């Protein structure tokens, strides 16, 4: 099963970006998307930003993932 995680772009350096995915920061490749901007939310899969998503959808998804994590503990 594949899972895409919403992440907020916090820093951009050419073809790479630093994102915040529910409090976890990591570097990702943004070459698949044109004109990515700081503050936008993207769907992260296997280290790549694969599409933009709106902030409301991103926050709802992150909240659900957090709830799932709590149940699994």
What local confidence, expressed as pLDDT, does residue 1 receive?
57
pLDDT band at 71 (very low <50, low <70, confident <90, very high): confident
Q: Specify whether the backbone of 12 is left (phi greater than 0), alpha (psi in -120 to 50) or beta.
A: beta
Tens digits of residue pLDDT in 13-22: 999 999 999 8
**In whole angstroms, what is the distance from residue 48 CA to residue 28 CA?**
6
According to DSSP, residue 40 is labeled -
Tens digits of residue pLDDT in 25-69: 999 999 999 999 999 999 999 999 999 999 999 999 999 988 888
Report yes or no on whether pTM surpasses 0.85: yes
The CATH label, of 2.30.30.140, 2.60.120.380, 1.20.1730.10, 3.40.50.740, for the domain at 5-72 is 2.30.30.140
């Amino acid at each position: 099963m594949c899972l895409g995680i919403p992440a907020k772009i916090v820093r951009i350096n050419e073809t790479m970006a630093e994102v915040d995915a529910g409090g976890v920061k990591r570097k990702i490749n943004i070459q698949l998307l044109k004109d990515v901007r700081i503050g936008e939310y993207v769907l992260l899969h296997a280290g790549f930003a694969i599409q933009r998503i709106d902030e409301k959808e991103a926050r709802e998804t992150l909240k659900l993932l957090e709830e799932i994590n709590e149940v699994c503990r």
